[in-house]
Protein backbone atom coordinates (compact mmCIF):
# COMPACT_ATOMS: atom_id res chain seq x y z
CA UNK A 1 0.00 0.00 0.00
CA UNK A 2 2.77 2.43 0.95
CA UNK A 3 4.56 1.63 -2.28
CA UNK A 4 1.41 2.35 -4.31
CA UNK A 5 0.97 5.67 -2.54
CA UNK A 6 4.52 6.56 -3.53
CA UNK A 7 5.64 7.11 0.05
CA UNK A 8 8.22 4.30 0.08
CA UNK A 9 9.54 3.19 -3.33
CA UNK A 10 10.35 -0.30 -2.10
CA UNK A 11 10.78 -1.93 -5.51
CA UNK A 12 13.18 0.76 -6.74
CA UNK A 13 15.21 0.48 -3.54
CA UNK A 14 15.54 -3.30 -3.86
CA UNK A 15 16.50 -3.02 -7.53
CA UNK A 16 19.32 -0.58 -6.72
CA UNK A 17 22.61 -2.35 -7.50
CA UNK A 18 24.53 -0.82 -4.59
CA UNK A 19 21.81 -1.82 -2.11
CA UNK A 20 21.74 -5.33 -3.58
CA UNK A 21 25.53 -5.56 -3.21
CA UNK A 22 25.26 -4.45 0.43
CA UNK A 23 22.48 -6.92 1.21
CA UNK A 24 24.33 -9.86 -0.30
CA UNK A 25 27.59 -8.84 1.40
CA UNK A 26 25.61 -8.69 4.65
CA UNK A 27 24.39 -12.23 3.99
CA UNK A 28 27.98 -13.40 3.45
CA UNK A 29 29.31 -11.73 6.59
CA UNK A 30 26.37 -12.67 8.80
CA UNK A 31 26.56 -16.31 7.69
CA UNK A 32 30.29 -16.33 8.49
CA UNK A 33 29.62 -14.93 11.96
CA UNK A 34 26.69 -17.28 12.60
CA UNK A 35 28.62 -20.40 11.57
CA UNK A 36 31.57 -19.24 13.71
CA UNK A 37 29.29 -18.88 16.76
CA UNK A 38 27.66 -22.28 16.17
CA UNK A 39 30.95 -24.08 15.49
CA UNK A 40 32.81 -22.81 18.57
CA UNK A 41 30.99 -24.90 21.22
CA UNK A 42 30.95 -27.92 18.87
CA UNK A 43 34.73 -27.72 18.37
CA UNK A 44 35.48 -27.17 22.04
CA UNK A 45 33.34 -30.17 22.91
CA UNK A 46 34.91 -32.28 20.16
CA UNK A 47 38.64 -31.47 20.37
CA UNK A 48 38.98 -29.75 23.75
CA UNK A 49 39.97 -26.22 24.73
CA UNK A 50 43.72 -26.74 24.20
CA UNK A 51 43.42 -28.02 20.64
CA UNK A 52 40.78 -25.39 19.89
CA UNK A 53 43.31 -22.71 20.86
CA UNK A 54 45.96 -24.26 18.59
CA UNK A 55 43.51 -24.46 15.69
CA UNK A 56 42.74 -20.75 16.11
CA UNK A 57 46.43 -19.92 16.42
CA UNK A 58 47.11 -21.67 13.12
CA UNK A 59 44.12 -19.87 11.61
CA UNK A 60 45.48 -16.48 12.72
CA UNK A 61 48.73 -17.17 10.83
CA UNK A 62 46.77 -18.19 7.73
CA UNK A 63 44.65 -15.01 7.94
CA UNK A 64 47.83 -12.93 8.05
CA UNK A 65 49.23 -14.77 5.02
CA UNK A 66 45.89 -14.36 3.24
CA UNK A 67 46.55 -10.62 3.23
CA UNK A 68 49.57 -11.42 1.05
CA UNK A 69 47.50 -13.78 -1.12
CA UNK A 70 44.88 -11.06 -1.61
CA UNK A 71 47.65 -8.50 -2.29
CA UNK A 72 45.18 -5.62 -2.62
CA UNK A 73 43.21 -7.23 -5.44
CA UNK A 74 40.09 -6.98 -3.28
CA UNK A 75 40.44 -3.19 -3.66
CA UNK A 76 41.73 -2.82 -7.21
CA UNK A 77 40.11 -5.72 -9.10
CA UNK A 78 36.40 -4.81 -8.53
CA UNK A 79 37.09 -1.39 -10.04
CA UNK A 80 38.75 -2.91 -13.11
CA UNK A 81 35.94 -5.44 -13.53
CA UNK A 82 33.29 -2.72 -13.23
CA UNK A 83 35.00 -0.64 -15.91
CA UNK A 84 35.40 -3.64 -18.28
CA UNK A 85 31.93 -5.18 -17.74
CA UNK A 86 30.97 -4.99 -21.41
CA UNK A 87 34.34 -6.03 -22.88
CA UNK A 88 34.51 -9.83 -22.66
CA UNK A 89 38.06 -10.09 -24.01
CA UNK A 90 39.52 -7.50 -21.65
CA UNK A 91 37.56 -9.03 -18.78
CA UNK A 92 38.84 -12.52 -19.62
CA UNK A 93 42.46 -11.36 -19.57
CA UNK A 94 41.90 -9.49 -16.31
CA UNK A 95 40.24 -12.48 -14.62
CA UNK A 96 42.94 -14.88 -15.85
CA UNK A 97 45.78 -12.68 -14.62
CA UNK A 98 44.24 -11.93 -11.22
CA UNK A 99 43.48 -15.58 -10.46
CA UNK A 100 46.94 -16.64 -11.69
CA UNK A 101 48.63 -14.00 -9.51
CA UNK A 102 46.67 -15.02 -6.40
CA UNK A 103 47.35 -18.74 -6.96
CA UNK A 104 51.08 -18.01 -7.33
CA UNK A 105 50.99 -15.97 -4.12
CA UNK A 106 49.15 -18.83 -2.35
CA UNK A 107 51.88 -21.20 -3.54
CA UNK A 108 54.56 -18.86 -2.21
CA UNK A 109 52.77 -18.55 1.15
CA UNK A 110 52.54 -22.35 1.33
CA UNK A 111 56.28 -22.55 0.62
CA UNK A 112 56.95 -20.14 3.52
CA UNK A 113 54.89 -22.33 5.88
CA UNK A 114 56.68 -25.51 4.78
CA UNK A 115 60.09 -23.87 5.23
CA UNK A 116 59.06 -22.62 8.67
CA UNK A 117 57.78 -26.04 9.77
CA UNK A 118 60.24 -28.47 8.19
CA UNK A 119 63.27 -26.24 7.65
CA UNK A 120 63.31 -24.01 10.74
CA UNK A 121 61.20 -26.20 13.07
CA UNK A 122 58.89 -23.31 13.97
CA UNK A 123 55.31 -23.53 15.29
CA UNK A 124 56.24 -26.65 17.30
CA UNK A 125 52.95 -27.16 19.10
CA UNK A 126 50.75 -26.96 16.01
CA UNK A 127 52.95 -27.81 13.01
CA UNK A 128 50.63 -30.50 11.62
CA UNK A 129 47.54 -28.30 12.07
CA UNK A 130 49.25 -25.44 10.25
CA UNK A 131 50.38 -27.60 7.33
CA UNK A 132 46.85 -28.99 6.92
CA UNK A 133 45.56 -25.40 6.98
CA UNK A 134 47.25 -24.39 3.70
CA UNK A 135 44.09 -25.25 1.77
CA UNK A 136 42.70 -22.01 3.20
CA UNK A 137 45.32 -20.09 1.20
CA UNK A 138 44.12 -21.61 -2.07
CA UNK A 139 40.51 -21.10 -1.02
CA UNK A 140 41.29 -17.40 -0.67
CA UNK A 141 43.18 -17.38 -4.00
CA UNK A 142 40.26 -18.85 -5.95
CA UNK A 143 37.49 -16.86 -4.22
CA UNK A 144 35.85 -14.79 -7.01
CA UNK A 145 34.16 -12.31 -4.67
CA UNK A 146 36.00 -9.39 -6.30
CA UNK A 147 34.71 -10.46 -9.73
CA UNK A 148 31.07 -10.65 -8.68
CA UNK A 149 31.42 -7.31 -6.85
CA UNK A 150 32.65 -5.65 -10.01
CA UNK A 151 29.93 -7.29 -12.10
CA UNK A 152 27.36 -6.32 -9.43
CA UNK A 153 26.05 -9.89 -9.35
CA UNK A 154 26.38 -10.84 -5.69
CA UNK A 155 23.43 -13.21 -5.32
CA UNK A 156 25.19 -16.37 -6.51
CA UNK A 157 28.35 -15.94 -4.46
CA UNK A 158 26.38 -15.15 -1.31
CA UNK A 159 24.43 -18.41 -1.73
CA UNK A 160 27.66 -20.30 -2.48
CA UNK A 161 29.31 -18.88 0.65
CA UNK A 162 26.43 -19.98 2.86
CA UNK A 163 26.51 -23.46 1.29
CA UNK A 164 30.29 -23.69 1.84
CA UNK A 165 29.94 -22.78 5.51
CA UNK A 166 27.11 -25.29 5.98
CA UNK A 167 29.30 -28.03 4.47
CA UNK A 168 32.06 -27.08 6.91
CA UNK A 169 29.64 -27.18 9.84
CA UNK A 170 28.31 -30.57 8.72
CA UNK A 171 31.89 -31.86 8.54
CA UNK A 172 32.52 -30.81 12.14
CA UNK A 173 29.35 -32.52 13.34
CA UNK A 174 30.08 -35.76 11.45
CA UNK A 175 33.85 -36.18 11.75
CA UNK A 176 35.45 -34.04 14.50
CA UNK A 177 34.99 -35.96 17.75
CA UNK A 178 38.42 -36.22 19.38
CA UNK A 179 41.55 -34.06 19.96
CA UNK A 180 43.70 -35.97 17.44
CA UNK A 181 41.28 -34.91 14.70
CA UNK A 182 41.96 -31.19 15.27
CA UNK A 183 44.27 -31.07 12.23
CA UNK A 184 41.24 -31.58 9.97
CA UNK A 185 39.28 -28.53 11.19
CA UNK A 186 41.02 -25.83 9.12
CA UNK A 187 41.58 -28.38 6.36
CA UNK A 188 37.83 -28.90 6.00
CA UNK A 189 37.18 -25.16 6.03
CA UNK A 190 39.72 -24.66 3.24
CA UNK A 191 38.67 -27.71 1.23
CA UNK A 192 34.95 -26.89 1.24
CA UNK A 193 35.70 -23.30 0.30
CA UNK A 194 38.01 -24.38 -2.53
CA UNK A 195 35.45 -26.88 -3.82
CA UNK A 196 32.67 -24.29 -4.00
CA UNK A 197 35.04 -21.77 -5.59
CA UNK A 198 35.83 -24.22 -8.39
CA UNK A 199 32.11 -24.54 -9.14
CA UNK A 200 31.87 -20.73 -9.25
CA UNK A 201 34.79 -20.56 -11.68
CA UNK A 202 33.03 -23.12 -13.89
CA UNK A 203 29.92 -20.91 -13.80
CA UNK A 204 31.95 -17.83 -14.75
CA UNK A 205 33.46 -19.68 -17.70
CA UNK A 206 30.30 -21.45 -18.92
CA UNK A 207 27.47 -18.99 -18.33
CA UNK A 208 29.23 -15.61 -18.28
CA UNK A 209 31.47 -16.60 -21.21
CA UNK A 210 34.71 -15.57 -19.53
CA UNK A 211 37.69 -17.39 -21.03
CA UNK A 212 40.68 -18.41 -18.94
CA UNK A 213 43.90 -17.62 -20.78
CA UNK A 214 47.43 -18.63 -19.96
CA UNK A 215 48.87 -16.25 -17.36
CA UNK A 216 50.69 -13.23 -18.77
CA UNK A 217 53.59 -12.95 -16.36
CA UNK A 218 54.48 -9.43 -17.50
CA UNK A 219 50.90 -8.30 -16.77
CA UNK A 220 50.89 -10.15 -13.44
CA UNK A 221 54.17 -8.53 -12.43
CA UNK A 222 52.83 -5.12 -13.42
CA UNK A 223 49.64 -5.65 -11.38
CA UNK A 224 51.66 -6.77 -8.36
CA UNK A 225 53.75 -3.60 -8.56
CA UNK A 226 50.59 -1.51 -8.89
CA UNK A 227 48.97 -3.26 -5.91
CA UNK A 228 51.91 -3.27 -3.52
CA UNK A 229 50.69 -0.11 -1.80
CA UNK A 230 47.22 -1.64 -1.43
CA UNK A 231 48.89 -4.69 0.14
CA UNK A 232 50.77 -2.62 2.71
CA UNK A 233 47.64 -0.56 3.33
CA UNK A 234 45.66 -3.75 4.08
CA UNK A 235 48.48 -4.97 6.32
CA UNK A 236 48.53 -1.70 8.26
CA UNK A 237 44.73 -1.74 8.57
CA UNK A 238 44.84 -5.33 9.84
CA UNK A 239 47.35 -4.30 12.52
CA UNK A 240 45.31 -1.22 13.47
CA UNK A 241 42.03 -3.13 13.76
CA UNK A 242 43.27 -6.40 15.27
CA UNK A 243 46.34 -5.26 17.19
CA UNK A 244 44.55 -4.02 20.30
CA UNK A 245 44.31 -7.43 21.96
CA UNK A 246 48.01 -8.09 21.35
CA UNK A 247 48.95 -4.76 22.96
CA UNK A 248 46.67 -5.47 25.93
CA UNK A 249 48.35 -8.87 26.41
CA UNK A 250 51.58 -7.11 27.45
CA UNK A 251 49.91 -5.19 30.28
CA UNK A 252 46.92 -7.23 31.48
CA UNK A 253 46.16 -10.61 33.01
CA UNK A 254 44.27 -13.42 31.32
CA UNK A 255 40.95 -12.45 32.92
CA UNK A 256 41.10 -8.90 31.56
CA UNK A 257 42.10 -10.23 28.15
CA UNK A 258 39.05 -12.49 28.13
CA UNK A 259 36.73 -9.66 29.18
CA UNK A 260 38.08 -7.33 26.50
CA UNK A 261 38.19 -9.94 23.73
CA UNK A 262 34.49 -10.72 24.24
CA UNK A 263 33.53 -7.06 23.81
CA UNK A 264 35.96 -6.61 20.93
CA UNK A 265 34.48 -9.55 19.01
CA UNK A 266 31.02 -7.99 19.20
CA UNK A 267 32.33 -4.61 18.03
CA UNK A 268 34.34 -6.13 15.19
CA UNK A 269 31.19 -7.81 13.89
CA UNK A 270 29.25 -4.53 14.00
CA UNK A 271 32.21 -2.69 12.48
CA UNK A 272 31.72 -4.69 9.28
CA UNK A 273 28.88 -2.27 8.47
CA UNK A 274 31.03 0.58 7.03
CA UNK A 275 33.41 -1.80 5.22
CA UNK A 276 30.44 -3.57 3.59
CA UNK A 277 29.07 -0.18 2.49
CA UNK A 278 32.37 0.66 0.75
CA UNK A 279 32.48 -2.73 -0.97
CA UNK A 280 28.83 -2.46 -2.01
CA UNK A 281 29.00 1.02 -3.58
CA UNK A 282 32.52 0.69 -5.01
CA UNK A 283 31.65 -0.75 -8.47
CA UNK A 284 28.88 1.76 -9.17
CA UNK A 285 30.95 4.61 -7.71
CA UNK A 286 33.86 3.69 -10.02
CA UNK A 287 31.64 3.83 -13.10
CA UNK A 288 30.05 7.13 -12.06
CA UNK A 289 33.45 8.69 -11.32
CA UNK A 290 34.73 7.69 -14.75
CA UNK A 291 31.65 9.05 -16.56
CA UNK A 292 30.63 12.12 -14.54
CA UNK A 293 32.25 13.39 -11.33
CA UNK A 294 29.21 15.49 -10.47
CA UNK A 295 26.96 12.41 -10.48
CA UNK A 296 29.58 10.53 -8.47
CA UNK A 297 29.67 13.20 -5.74
CA UNK A 298 25.87 13.39 -5.62
CA UNK A 299 25.63 9.60 -5.29
CA UNK A 300 28.30 9.54 -2.57
CA UNK A 301 26.61 12.30 -0.56
CA UNK A 302 23.28 10.47 -0.67
CA UNK A 303 24.93 7.25 0.53
CA UNK A 304 26.90 9.12 3.21
CA UNK A 305 23.83 10.69 4.84
CA UNK A 306 22.03 7.35 5.03
CA UNK A 307 25.13 5.53 6.33
CA UNK A 308 25.71 8.08 9.09
CA UNK A 309 22.11 7.66 10.24
CA UNK A 310 22.46 3.86 10.13
CA UNK A 311 25.82 3.95 11.92
CA UNK A 312 24.42 6.19 14.68
CA UNK A 313 21.48 3.83 15.19
CA UNK A 314 23.72 0.74 15.38
CA UNK A 315 26.14 2.44 17.78
CA UNK A 316 23.28 3.59 20.05
CA UNK A 317 21.68 0.13 20.01
CA UNK A 318 25.03 -1.51 20.87
CA UNK A 319 25.52 0.86 23.81
CA UNK A 320 22.04 0.35 25.24
CA UNK A 321 21.98 -3.42 24.65
CA UNK A 322 25.55 -4.04 25.92
CA UNK A 323 24.50 -5.72 29.22
CA UNK A 324 22.06 -8.01 27.40
CA UNK A 325 24.56 -8.87 24.61
CA UNK A 326 27.30 -9.81 27.08
CA UNK A 327 24.87 -11.81 29.21
CA UNK A 328 23.66 -13.80 26.18
CA UNK A 329 27.18 -14.55 24.90
CA UNK A 330 28.83 -15.35 28.23
CA UNK A 331 25.80 -16.64 30.16
CA UNK A 332 26.98 -14.57 33.13
CA UNK A 333 27.15 -10.99 34.38
CA UNK A 334 30.51 -9.56 33.25
CA UNK A 335 30.41 -5.89 34.14
CA UNK A 336 33.93 -5.27 32.85
CA UNK A 337 33.03 -6.60 29.39
CA UNK A 338 29.88 -4.45 29.40
CA UNK A 339 32.02 -1.39 30.13
CA UNK A 340 34.39 -2.19 27.26
CA UNK A 341 31.51 -2.76 24.85
CA UNK A 342 29.83 0.50 25.79
CA UNK A 343 33.10 2.41 25.44
CA UNK A 344 33.76 0.87 22.02
CA UNK A 345 30.20 1.20 20.67
CA UNK A 346 30.78 4.72 19.17
CA UNK A 347 33.44 3.09 16.97
CA UNK A 348 30.74 1.96 14.54
CA UNK A 349 29.58 5.53 13.92
CA UNK A 350 33.08 7.07 13.89
CA UNK A 351 34.32 4.55 11.33
CA UNK A 352 31.39 5.55 9.07
CA UNK A 353 32.74 9.11 8.92
CA UNK A 354 35.65 8.04 6.72
CA UNK A 355 33.57 6.22 4.06
CA UNK A 356 33.62 9.07 1.47
CA UNK A 357 37.36 9.64 1.90
CA UNK A 358 38.19 5.96 1.40
CA UNK A 359 35.78 5.68 -1.53
CA UNK A 360 37.29 8.71 -3.27
CA UNK A 361 40.80 7.32 -2.81
CA UNK A 362 39.75 3.98 -4.29
CA UNK A 363 37.82 5.23 -7.32
CA UNK A 364 40.54 7.78 -8.15
CA UNK A 365 43.20 5.09 -7.74
CA UNK A 366 45.07 7.11 -5.10
CA UNK A 367 47.08 4.16 -3.77
CA UNK A 368 49.85 6.37 -2.37
CA UNK A 369 47.40 8.35 -0.26
CA UNK A 370 45.73 5.20 1.04
CA UNK A 371 49.14 3.76 1.86
CA UNK A 372 50.22 6.90 3.74
CA UNK A 373 46.94 7.14 5.61
CA UNK A 374 46.99 3.46 6.63
CA UNK A 375 50.53 3.50 7.97
CA UNK A 376 50.13 6.85 9.72
CA UNK A 377 47.01 5.43 11.37
CA UNK A 378 48.84 2.20 12.26
CA UNK A 379 51.79 4.00 13.84
CA UNK A 380 49.49 6.31 15.78
CA UNK A 381 47.47 3.34 17.02
CA UNK A 382 50.51 1.39 18.23
CA UNK A 383 52.08 4.36 20.05
CA UNK A 384 48.98 5.93 21.60
CA UNK A 385 47.19 2.72 22.59
CA UNK A 386 50.38 1.33 24.13
CA UNK A 387 50.75 4.41 26.33
CA UNK A 388 47.06 4.55 27.30
CA UNK A 389 46.92 0.80 27.95
CA UNK A 390 50.03 0.99 30.15
CA UNK A 391 48.43 3.64 32.38
CA UNK A 392 44.70 2.77 32.21
CA UNK A 393 44.49 -0.88 31.11
CA UNK A 394 41.55 -1.99 28.98
CA UNK A 395 39.73 1.33 29.35
CA UNK A 396 42.79 3.14 28.01
CA UNK A 397 42.92 0.75 25.07
CA UNK A 398 39.28 1.55 24.23
CA UNK A 399 39.97 5.28 24.21
CA UNK A 400 43.10 4.72 22.13
CA UNK A 401 41.16 2.76 19.49
CA UNK A 402 38.41 5.40 19.35
CA UNK A 403 40.96 8.17 18.94
CA UNK A 404 42.67 6.17 16.17
CA UNK A 405 39.48 6.22 14.09
CA UNK A 406 39.09 9.97 14.60
CA UNK A 407 42.72 10.61 13.66
CA UNK A 408 42.34 8.35 10.60
CA UNK A 409 39.40 10.47 9.43
CA UNK A 410 41.40 13.69 9.88
CA UNK A 411 44.47 12.23 8.14
CA UNK A 412 42.44 11.08 5.11
CA UNK A 413 40.72 14.46 4.79
CA UNK A 414 44.04 16.33 5.04
CA UNK A 415 45.74 14.11 2.46
CA UNK A 416 42.84 14.42 0.02
CA UNK A 417 42.72 18.20 0.46
CA UNK A 418 46.46 18.51 -0.15
CA UNK A 419 46.75 16.05 -3.05
CA UNK A 420 43.44 16.43 -4.91
CA UNK A 421 41.69 19.66 -3.83
CA UNK A 422 39.26 19.44 -6.78
CA UNK A 423 38.07 15.97 -5.72
CA UNK A 424 37.93 17.06 -2.07
CA UNK A 425 35.89 20.21 -2.73
CA UNK A 426 33.66 18.35 -5.19
CA UNK A 427 32.30 16.28 -2.30
CA UNK A 428 32.65 18.55 0.75
CA UNK A 429 31.63 21.87 -0.83
Tens of pLDDT along 103-127?
Answer: 999 999 999 999 999 999 988 888 9
Q: Are residues 158 and 24 in contact, defined by beta-carbon separation less than 8 angstroms?
A: yes
Give the pLDDT mean for 281-303.
88
**What's the burial of 80, exposed, middle or buried (CB within 10 Å: 0-12/13-18/19+)?**
buried
In terms of domains, do 262 and 220 share one? no
In terms of domains, do 74 and 210 share one? yes
Cβ-based neighbours of 3, under 8 Å, separated by 6 or more? 9, 10, 11
User: What does the DSSP 8-state code read for residue 7?
Assistant: S
In terms of domains, do 133 and 64 share one? yes
pLDDT of 6: 44
395 part of a folded domain: yes
User: What does the DSSP 8-state code read for residue 354?
Assistant: T
Phi, psi (deg, nearest 5) at residue 111: -60, -40
Give the pLDDT mean for 197-224.
91
Give the pLDDT mean for 28-49.
72
In terms of domains, do 317 and 408 share one? yes
In terms of domains, do 249 and 199 share one? no
In terms of domains, do 278 and 158 share one? no
238 part of a folded domain: no
In terms of domains, do 220 and 292 share one? no
How far is residue 422 from each of residues 113, 291, 426, measured CA to CA in Å?
A: 46, 16, 6
236 part of a folded domain: no
Q: Are residues 75 and 230 in contact, defined by beta-carbon separation less than 8 angstroms?
A: yes
Range of the domain at 185: 8-228
- How big is the CA angle at 30 (ends 166 and 41), to the nearest 5 degrees? 60
In terms of domains, do 224 and 262 share one? no
**For the chain, what is the mean pLDDT?**
85
In terms of domains, do 29 and 54 share one? yes
Residue 331 has pLDDT above 70, yes or no: no
The mean-pLDDT minimum among 15-19, 25-29, 386-390 falls in 15-19
1 part of a folded domain: no
pLDDT of 258: 64
Nearest one of 157, 131, 142 to 61, comparing CA atoms: 131
pLDDT of 320: 96
In terms of domains, do 252 and 223 share one? no
User: Alpha-carbon distance 291 to 285, whole Å?
Assistant: 10
Give the pLDDT mean for 7-13.
47
The better pLDDT of the pair 359, 276 is held by 359
Q: Domains in the chain: how many in total? A: 2
Q: Are residues 13 and 143 in contact, defined by beta-carbon separation less than 8 angstroms?
A: no
pLDDT interval class at 190 (50, 70, 90): very high
At which of 228, 257, 286 does a domain end?
A: 228
211 part of a folded domain: yes
In terms of domains, do 193 and 254 share one? no
Give the pLDDT mean for 153-169.
88
In terms of domains, do 223 and 354 share one? no
Residue 140 has pLDDT above 90, yes or no: yes
Amino acid sequence: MLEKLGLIPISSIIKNKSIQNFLFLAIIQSSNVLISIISMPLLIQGIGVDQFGLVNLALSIIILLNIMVGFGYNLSAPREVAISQNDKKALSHLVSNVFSAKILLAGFATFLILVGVFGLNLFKEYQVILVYSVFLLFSEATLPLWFFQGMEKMKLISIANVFSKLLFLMGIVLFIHSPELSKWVNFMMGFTGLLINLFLLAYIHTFLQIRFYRPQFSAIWASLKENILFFFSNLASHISINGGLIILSFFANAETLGMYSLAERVVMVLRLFPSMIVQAIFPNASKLYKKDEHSFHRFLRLVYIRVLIGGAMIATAAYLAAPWIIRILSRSELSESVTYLQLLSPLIFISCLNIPNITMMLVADLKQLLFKASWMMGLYMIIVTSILTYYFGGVGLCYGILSTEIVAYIICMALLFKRTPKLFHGFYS
